[in-house]
């Protein structure tokens, strides 16, 4: 559950969307209900463990799908930038000053 909260909450602890918040509430309610049942009659532990394992598997699958989608999107963005011949110039240390000096030197020669 901790993984789910880390991946579905913003840094300010608000949920990324209503669906995530509702899922969290349902999961916590089901967990509490099963825990109470197990405490009352001494059984149900296996059912709780099974349900938590299923939820864990579901979250792992969603996380893997999200990772794959991010990779695909990154690849598509890179391809689009390549096709558009889009470059983001990253100046080297001191490069900006050298260009400015070259430009100012050219104008004084004229």
State the pLDDT confidence band at 66, using cuts at 50, 70 and 90.
very high
Averaged pLDDT, 40-48: 70
Residue 95 has a pLDDT of 60
DSSP class of residue 43 equals -
Tens digit of each residue's pLDDT (9 = 90 or more) over 70-110:
999 989 988 888 888 877 777 777 665 544 555 555 444 44
Residues 6 or more apart in contact with residue 66 via CB below 8 angstroms: 7
User: Residue 108 has what pLDDT?
Assistant: 46
Q: What is the CA radius of gyration of the chain?
A: 27
Token output for 106:
């050219």
Residue 96 is predicted with a pLDDT of 56
């Amino acid at each position: 559950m901790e993984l789910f909260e880390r991946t579905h909450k913003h840094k300010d602890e608000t949920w990324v969307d209503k669906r995530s918040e509702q899922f969290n509430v349902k999961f916590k309610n089901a967990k509490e209900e099963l825990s109470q049942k197990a405490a009352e009659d001494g059984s149900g532990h296996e059912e709780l463990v099974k349900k938590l394992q299923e939820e864990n598997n579901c979250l792992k699958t969603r996380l893997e799908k999200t990772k794959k989608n991010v990779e695909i999107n990154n690849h598509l963005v890179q391809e689009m930038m390549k096709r558009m011949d889009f470059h983001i110039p990253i100046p080297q240390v001191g490069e900006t000053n050298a260009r400015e000096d070259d430009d100012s030197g050219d104008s004084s020669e004229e």
